[in-house]
Structure 1
Amino acid sequence: MLEKDFPEGCWESIFRFLGQGNDLEPVSVVCKQFLSITNRIRVSLTIRNPTIIFLPRLLSRFLRLKVIDLSHFTGELEGLLRQISESGLDLDLVNVSNQKTLPVDGLRELGSKIINLRVLICSNIGSLRDSHLIIIAYCFPFLKELNISFPLDSQVSDFGILKLSTMLENLHKIDLSGNHLVTDKSLLSLCQNCRSLEEISFFTCFKITQFGIASAFRMRPSLASISFNIEKKRIHGPGLTPVPISMDLIDSLASLKRLNAVDLSNSFISDEFLISLADSAGNFLKKLVLHDCCNFTFSGISYVLSKCQYIQCLDLRKADFLTDQCIKKLSMFLLNLTSINLSGCCQLTNATFFILTKNCRLLNEIKMERTYIGVDGEEDFNSISDFLINLQVKAVYFGDNVLLNDVSLSNFSSICPSLQILDLNACEGISEECVVEVIKRCSKIRHLNLSCTGIEKFEINFEISQLEVLNLSGLRIEDDTLFIISKLCIGLLFLDIQNCCYITTKGVREVIENCRGLKELNLKNCCLVDDDFVFMLTLTNPSLRTIITPSGVDVYY
């Protein structure tokens, strides 16, 4: 059967499965039919500086765009937003983050034409004021999600949040983290006026008190996701004294019967707080983040996990009281776990990895950076026959584990042969031979980070067709390694070789000419590569979108 005889609806389903954006570029050049289908199904567009020249053509080409991301654009946004507003697109989401100031006139134009916008992201804006919030609410009255987090200079006050809350009654989700002037009044006005509010984040808003948080929870018991931090320490006299958790806040958790996600990163909490949380959320809770929290114990987290056994995402970074034995006990409750982050838990050894892969059969992602990985724990296995293969684990992050050795890494890869992402950043105890063995065993690896490992060669004699992202930054590799990569890593999309001071223009030429799908290349501090020659080489590979030159200049195509 020829492609023209295959129903377009089937092709459309196949291409949707492949992904979005650059993933569809190879497909779009096959024939006019495929080009038409990929144009039709593309729903998101990221605009960088060079894209501005082609913007009118892109907006008329992709008629079903729903998402436009301007967070990487560093030019003048007002005219750009005016073009988008005149395109006739029915957008759902616009991201204008990382701008020096909010493009007020452009947003007015956008709001006058695209009245159904549902999501607006304005994170990391240089300066944010109450007047900006009022304009946002006036221009986009049907917003359901708004992100105004972490402006560099926040003048947002309770007045602005109050006005916003009265004008955006349909708001479902808001992130006002980093707006340090807002108080309890802001939180209460949002919970009172936005009757559909389900998700709220207010990290580092330390003028919001525990009393205010408790009152807000009681006022809006339908909250499903809460993200905030309780200040760890406050100055009292000559010293630093922890601020205790109030019983009022602990008791208020009983109001939240629909909680499915909680992020308390960098908070001073207690076992009593966790127990109340568990009793309230029960089996609704799917995500729990306690990154860098203090003052809770194994008893507290054990109680939570025993009561909330449907948790899928668990983050216990820097919980330094955890041991292999603790993880063994907790793993009995984690039957639905898909992602766990134990980075910075300095007592955890190889045994924890074996326990998790054996007992948590749905686990997809394991992060154990800066732990005691590489050391055999008491629960370790003695022979290959003790290993229980886990085909579900796809991503493993072992960064900054200086004790990780070849034997341990080989055993881990034997347990998880379906690995697609392997991060070994700064794991200085592993050898090139072991890495090659792992790549051969885990043939589906598509993302490999070997930065700062001390490896001096990357010698392989077999094709790594699945590899898309390769980070070799800080290694003492030479051009012969790049030659091998250019011949055998035919699917490479992103290559990072910054601070590889022995790489020359010759090696870079091999990569650019032979890796025809390469999208991004980082050459920062590759002092033997000439900037001007890099610009000339890019003409031989039209797929390149981003290059960081040896002098550190970001160039977008």
Structure 2
Amino acid sequence: MPPSSSSKNSRYHQQLTSIKIARPFTGGINAILSQIASFDLPSLQSLDISDQYSFPSHGLRQFSQKFPTLKSLICSHTRPDLVLIAECFPNLEEIDVSHISVSSDADLQVKALASGLKKLRKVDLTGNFILADSSVFTLCQNCVSLEELAVHETVSLSNIGIANAIRQRPQLRSLAVRGDNVTLEFIDALVSLKCLTCLHLSDSHISDEALCALADGVLQFRELSLRECSGYQYSGISCLLRNCNNLQYLDLQGTQFLNDECVIELSLLLANLKVVNLSENEELTVLSLFAIMRNCPLITEIRMEDTEVGKQKLQEDCLVVNYHLKFLYLAQNSWLDDGCVTMLASICPNLEMMDLSNCGRVSVGVVEVLGRCCKIQCMDLSHLECDLSHFQFRVNFEVPTLFVLNLSGLSISNEELSIISKNCFNLKELKLDHCYKITANGVKQVVKNCKQLRMISLYYCKKVSSDIVSWMVLARPSLRNIRAPRYTRHIADKRDHFLRHGCFVEWIPKVNSELTREASLGRFHDFT
């Protein structure tokens, strides 16, 4: 006999290791935490309550009585009570309190966290602008197991304060910080961290002398980020990279001096590189892209958004097929055209994700990607700026691997949408925001053909009535998230009814009128 549904659920509960509350959860989050506390979840280790409108103090107290050994808590973009967290979960090893709203006693709360959570290994305090040097010092002093610390986007901290703090924890493996004006004293503190393998600096001013001093420290970085950093030149970064033989992740977004010649030379030093971000470097062309693909044989992800890819043409005999590259982000490249996209599809046969959003000259090339890349799972084609009046987006072949598709802002018709849904029948997420031509008939074809659909976004689809939401919830039980075209009282009144069917419905608040509480709760922050 097949096992009963209750026994299946019981086995599932036994294996559940993490819970993430929908963000924002518009029901009673205190009540849902109390309800979770009534379940038998012996393997539960992680809870994520990010982006909530209110901090569920009562619910967390009840939750902690059942799960006092919780190891990971994520409550970013909330207004948490850090003292309560320290009292309720003394065994936490990881905590994310980034971008939180705290009162003037923020330092006291962080110090209470440091005193109560001595087992912490990983702490993220990113974006907490009124944090003091003394708080980070106390954290590093008290948490003897601390290995990863993130305090970037925290302008209130000083170089000297961070340097003094990290010297308390010589076993730190990962540090993310906004260094401001990076001094040699700060570099000395970094060099003292002999286990440091991941360094993320951002929006900092760092000299060639400082980078060379860091290179002399014989640190073997696996991850290095100098995103939006200034003050250094090619000699400084090349000096550092020559000493990083095992570097796997490199972020040089927004580097002021970077050009194709620099990237070609640096790529020869990066034999083990797997992920690189070269976005927002306006002098980089396809020459840099192919240098990375050719000289970094292990590369799996390349980001070159808002560059000049497509402006420079390459001879076909210079191209090398790369079987490792899986993720390619080329958004906002105004020179990128169909020829370049088709060429990329032919030499990157194992692509799983491609972002071509806001590219100025791409049209039929996207169909070539879907046809040639047999492992493609995700494509972002939102807001392609080319004239689509002469181009019909017809995918006349099956693409069973495609799970996520963003067509927002495209002038596609119901007929094209129907063809896409028939051949991309395994879609789980589909974004159609600002698609002004489609109607309810086109949406119904998607819901009927895509039997695994979990999320569909219809923001500002002017010809689609919000009345279709009720039909979608009943017609496709797999749906977990619907973004309705606009706010209507009909949707607000049925919000709880939709939740009982397992679907969270969001909507655009009414414009130029006073918002009801229900409408404001329907606002959407982010979906990942």
Superposition TM-score, scaled by structure 2 size: 0.87
1:214 aligned residue:
163
Q: Deviations over 1:308-331 (max 9, x none)?
A: 121111111111311111111111
Q: Deviations over 1:159-201 (max 9, x none)?
A: 2222221221111111122333321111111111111111111
Residues 182, 204 of structure 2: 8 Å contact kept: no
Q: Deviations over 1:473-519 (max 9, x none)?
A: 11111111011112211111111111110111111111111111111
Residues 175, 199 of structure 2: 8 Å contact kept: yes
Residues 451, 474 of structure 1: 8 Å contact kept: yes
1:151 aligned residue:
100
Q: Identify if the C-alpha distance between structure 1 residues 263 and 71 changes in structure 2 by more than 3 Å, giving closer, same or farther.
A: farther
1:500 aligned residue:
435
Q: Identify which of 378, 381, 386 aligns with 2:318.
A: 386
Q: Identify which of 186, 204, 210 aligns with 1:273.
A: 210
Q: Identify if the C-alpha distance between structure 1 residues 406 and 220 changes in structure 2 by more than 3 Å, giving closer, same or farther.
A: same
1:369-518, aligned counterparts within 5 Å? Answer: 369-376=305-312, 381-383=314-316, 385-432=317-364, 434-453=365-384, 454=386, 455=388, 456-518=391-453
Counterpart residue type for residue 407 of structure 1: G
CA–CA separation in structure 1 for the residues paired with 2:7 and 2:355:
36
Q: Identify if the C-alpha distance between structure 1 residues 273 and 496 changes in structure 2 by more than 3 Å, giving closer, same or farther.
A: same
Q: CA deviation at 1:259?
A: 0.8
Counterpart residue type for residue 55 of structure 2: L
Q: Does 1:198 align with 2:147?
A: yes
Q: Identify which of 360, 375, 382 aligns with 2:296.
A: 360
Residues 154, 180 of structure 1: 8 Å contact kept: no
2:17 aligned residue:
66
Q: Identify if the C-alpha distance between structure 1 residues 122 and 33 changes in structure 2 by more than 3 Å, giving closer, same or farther.
A: same
Q: CA deviation at 1:551?
A: 0.9
Task: Provide the aligned C-alpha RMSD in A.
Answer: 2.1
Q: CA deviation at 1:215?
A: 1.1
Residues 354, 379 of structure 2: 8 Å contact kept: yes
Q: Identify if the C-alpha distance between structure 1 residues 35 and 402 changes in structure 2 by more than 3 Å, giving closer, same or farther.
A: farther
2:509 aligned residue:
none
Q: CA deviation at 1:425?
A: 0.3
CA–CA separation in structure 2 for the residues paired with 1:549 and 1:145:
36
Q: CA deviation at 1:71?
A: 4.7
Please give the secondary structure, in 2, of the residue aligned with 1:211.
Answer: helix
Counterpart residue type for residue 369 of structure 1: E
Q: Identify which of 68, 73, 91 aligns with 1:115.
A: 68
Q: Which is further off, 269-278 or 64-73?
A: 269-278
Q: Which is further off, 71-80 or 321-330?
A: 71-80
Q: Which is further off, 86-95 or 137-146?
A: 86-95
Q: Identify which of 40, 46, 55 aligns with 1:88.
A: 40
CA–CA separation in structure 2 for the residues paired with 1:368 and 1:65:
38
2:183 aligned residue:
246
1:100-179, aligned counterparts within 5 Å? Answer: 100-125=53-78, 127-128=79-80, 132-179=81-128
CA–CA separation in structure 2 for the residues paired with 1:154 and 1:361:
49
Q: Does 1:77 align with 2:29?
A: yes
Q: Identify if the C-alpha distance between structure 1 residues 34 and 224 changes in structure 2 by more than 3 Å, giving closer, same or farther.
A: farther
Q: Deviations over 1:93-116 (max 9, x none)?
A: 111111233211222212222121
Residues 259, 281 of structure 1: 8 Å contact kept: no
Please give the secondary structure, in 1, of the residue aligned with 2:281.
Answer: coil
- Number of residue pairs matched? 486
Q: CA deviation at 1:280?
A: 3.1
Q: Which is further off, 540-549 or 494-503?
A: 540-549
Q: Identify if the C-alpha distance between structure 1 residues 438 and 71 changes in structure 2 by more than 3 Å, giving closer, same or farther.
A: closer
CA–CA separation in structure 2 for the residues paired with 1:265 and 1:164:
26
CA–CA separation in structure 2 for the residues paired with 1:538 and 1:100:
25
CA–CA separation in structure 2 for the residues paired with 1:364 and 1:158:
41
Q: Deviations over 1:258-291 (max 9, x none)?
A: 11111112222222332233333532x1111221
Residues 345, 368 of structure 2: 8 Å contact kept: no
Counterpart residue type for residue 270 of structure 2: L
CA–CA separation in structure 1 for the residues paired with 2:207 and 2:3:
60
Residues 137, 166 of structure 2: 8 Å contact kept: no
Q: Gapped runs of 5+ residues in structure 2?
A: 504-528
CA–CA separation in structure 1 for the residues paired with 2:153 and 2:293:
36
CA–CA separation in structure 1 for the residues paired with 2:318 and 2:249:
27
Q: Gapped runs of 5+ residues in structure 1?
A: 1-30, 43-61, 232-243
CA–CA separation in structure 1 for the residues paired with 2:368 and 2:46:
44
CA–CA separation in structure 1 for the residues paired with 2:21 and 2:126:
21
Q: Identify if the C-alpha distance between structure 1 residues 105 and 353 changes in structure 2 by more than 3 Å, giving closer, same or farther.
A: same
Q: Deviations over 1:233-276 (max 9, x none)?
A: xxxxxxxxxxx433321222221111111111222222233223
Counterpart residue type for residue 99 of structure 2: F
Q: Which is further off, 453-462 or 209-218?
A: 453-462
Q: Identify if the C-alpha distance between structure 1 residues 461 and 88 changes in structure 2 by more than 3 Å, giving closer, same or farther.
A: closer
CA–CA separation in structure 2 for the residues paired with 1:514 and 1:194:
53
2:521 aligned residue:
none
Q: Which is further off, 524-533 or 269-278?
A: 269-278
Q: CA deviation at 1:229?
A: 0.3
1:52 aligned residue:
none
Please give the secondary structure, in 1, of the residue aligned with 2:196.
Answer: coil
Q: Identify if the C-alpha distance between structure 1 residues 296 and 427 changes in structure 2 by more than 3 Å, giving closer, same or farther.
A: same
Q: Identify if the C-alpha distance between structure 1 residues 534 and 102 changes in structure 2 by more than 3 Å, giving closer, same or farther.
A: closer
1:343 aligned residue:
279
Residues 229, 266 of structure 1: 8 Å contact kept: yes
Residues 311, 336 of structure 1: 8 Å contact kept: yes
> Identity of aligned pairs, percent?
38
1:235 aligned residue:
none
Superposition TM-score, scaled by structure 1 size: 0.83
1:49 aligned residue:
none
Q: Identify if the C-alpha distance between structure 1 residues 412 and 93 changes in structure 2 by more than 3 Å, giving closer, same or farther.
A: same
Q: CA deviation at 1:153?
A: 4.2
CA–CA separation in structure 1 for the residues paired with 2:369 and 2:308:
21
Counterpart residue type for residue 100 of structure 1: Y
Q: Identify if the C-alpha distance between structure 1 residues 68 and 227 changes in structure 2 by more than 3 Å, giving closer, same or farther.
A: same
CA–CA separation in structure 1 for the residues paired with 2:10 and 2:295:
44
Counterpart residue type for residue 28 of structure 2: E
CA–CA separation in structure 1 for the residues paired with 2:379 and 2:440:
24
CA–CA separation in structure 1 for the residues paired with 2:275 and 2:9:
34
